[in-house]
């Protein structure tokens, strides 16, 4: 890639070339020559070159990393990620794949992600030795954190279907897994349309995709966090399970879309007269056993305000 960048900028590169005044040219190569999205450039090319420059500093080849701390020059597009609803997860879990071993294996590992919050790199490595009663104990590959994850009945049943036969979970490359997940999602008819915004430099393009087209291995972890959040499980407990250290990073995993707010409102207003005020709406939703977090999100108010109403 550095050779291609040299052709783009018309001069040779060395370890001293990566100065502040070169940062814009470096980013623009990936925008105008490669047509990459801004988020991809920042999370891939910029991140990798910073890792390389930091290594050069630590090894004494250069005095400092001048790229460090520079603000990315373009707007970052929102992540085009999705999570499954509880109904969709049940659809995948119960799908008859007895005639398709490959998709069955893909489904099994993906569902394990959805039920445990594990990254794909960890989920595919789970072995019988990781199981202790109704818990899964594992050192994560990415951060080497030691996690203890409670196992739902579905998870235990899934894992035992392999371990009782002395089989290992299938190890499939991430790219192949992502391809198979889209095939699996299409088979399950996850055909909801989702608007995606692509931003490269200052150019914006809006695309419409089917939900199954957006399924990746990361969807499993997001599904776990989102469904657990909707069930009212506190952030601090979920973070212990997923291994997140930062609440800001963790909350990026919530995939609470407008449809959730819309559903809550429609259900509430189906039985509420227009003369009712916010307090009455809240009380009605509490009776319907809607979680405080969902009510707060739907009405755009603080949870403490809700507690005052119901106290």
pLDDT at 262: 59
User: What is the C-alpha to C-alpha distance for residues 311 and 300, in angstroms, rounded to an integer?
Assistant: 19
Q: Band of the pLDDT at 145, cuts 50, 70, 90?
A: confident
Which top CATH class is 86-186+217-251? Answer: mainly alpha
pLDDT at 66: 95
Task: Show Cβ contacts of residue 65 under 8 Å, excluding neighbours closer than 6 positions.
Answer: 18, 50, 53, 54, 56, 57
Structure confidence at residue 272 (pLDDT)? 47
For the record, the structure tokens of 57 come out as 């500093």
Bigger pLDDT: 278 vs 276: 278
What is the arithmetic mean of pLDDT over 94-110?
95
Phi-psi region of 238 (alpha: psi -120 to 50; beta: other; left: phi over 0): alpha
Average pLDDT for 158-172: 90
Domain extents for the chain? 2-58, 86-186+217-251, 258-310
- Give yes or no for a contact between 195 and 210, defined as CB atoms under 8 angstroms apart: no
Q: Residue 129 is encoded by which pair of tokens?
A: 């030795």
Highest mean pLDDT among 12-21, 138-147, 169-178: 169-178
Higher local confidence (pLDDT), 101 or 77: 101
Taking the C-alpha atoms of residue 198 and residue 218, their distance in angstroms, rounded to an integer, is 19
Lowest mean pLDDT among 1-5, 126-130, 192-196, 199-203: 1-5
**Residue whose token pair is 């993906």:** 110
Quick check: 293 pLDDT over 80?
Answer: no
The DSSP annotation for 65-106 comes to -TTTTPPPSSPPPPP------HHHHHHHHH---TT-HHHHHH
Compute the half-sphere exposure of residue 103: CA atoms within 13 Å on the CB side of its CA.
19
pLDDT of residue 297: 63
Q: 185-242 pLDDT, tens per residue?
A: 999 999 999 888 899 999 999 989 999 999 999 999 999 988 888 887 887 788 888 8
Q: Which residues contact 307 (CB under 8 A, 6 or more apart)?
A: 292
Cα gap 209→197, rounded to integer Å: 11
Place of tokens 């469904």: 227
Tokens (6 digits) for 298: 């739907």
pLDDT (average), residues 263-285: 63
Question: What is the mean predicted confidence (pLDDT) over 154-168?
Answer: 90
Mean pLDDT computed over every residue of the chain: 85
Phi-psi category of residue 21: left, alpha or beta, with phi > 0 → left and psi -120 to 50 → alpha:
alpha
Q: Please, which pLDDT band fits residue 47 given cuts at 50, 70 and 90?
A: very high
For residues 147 and 97, the model is more confident at 97
- Report the percent of the chain where pLDDT is more than 70: 88
| Rounded average pLDDT over 249-258 | 66
- Hey, CA dihedral for 140, 143, 145, 148, is it positive or negative? negative
């Amino acid at each position: 890639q550095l050779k291609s960048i040299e052709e783009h900028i018309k001069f040779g590169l060395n370890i001293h070339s990566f100065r502040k005044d070169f940062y814009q040219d470096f980013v623009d190569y990936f925008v105008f020559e490669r047509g990459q999205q801004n988020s991809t450039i920042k999370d891939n090319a910029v991140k990798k070159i910073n890792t390389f420059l930091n290594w050069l500093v630590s090894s004494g080849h250069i005095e400092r990393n001048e790229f460090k701390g520079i603000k990315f020059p373009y707007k970052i597009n929102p992540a085009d990620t999705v999570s499954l609803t509880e109904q969709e997860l049940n659809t995948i879990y119960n799908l008859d794949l007895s005639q398709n071993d490959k998709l069955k294996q893909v489904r099994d590992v993906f569902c394990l992600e959805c039920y445990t919050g594990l990254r794909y790199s960890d989920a595919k490595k789970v072995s019988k030795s990781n199981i202790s009663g109704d818990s899964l104990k594992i050192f994560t590959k990415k951060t080497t954190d030691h996690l203890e994850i409670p196992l739902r009945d579905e998870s235990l049943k899934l894992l035992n279907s392999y371990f009782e036969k002395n089989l290992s979970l299938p190890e499939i490359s991430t790219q192949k897994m992502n391809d198979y997940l889209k095939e699996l999602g299409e088979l399950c008819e996850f055909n909801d349309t989702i608007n995606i915004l692509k931003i490269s430099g200052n150019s914006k393009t809006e695309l419409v995709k089917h939900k199954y087209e957006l399924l990746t291995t990361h969807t499993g972890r997001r599904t776990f966090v989102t469904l657990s959040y909707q069930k009212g499980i506190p952030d601090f407990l979920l973070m212990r399970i997923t291994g997140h250290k930062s609440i800001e990073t963790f909350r990026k995993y919530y995939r609470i879309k407008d449809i959730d707010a819309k559903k809550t409102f429609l259900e509430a207003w189906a039985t509420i007269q227009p003369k009712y005020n916010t307090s009455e709406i809240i009380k009605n939703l509490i009776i319907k056993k809607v979680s405080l977090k969902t009510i707060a999100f739907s009405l755009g108010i603080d949870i403490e305000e809700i507690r005052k109403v119901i106290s």
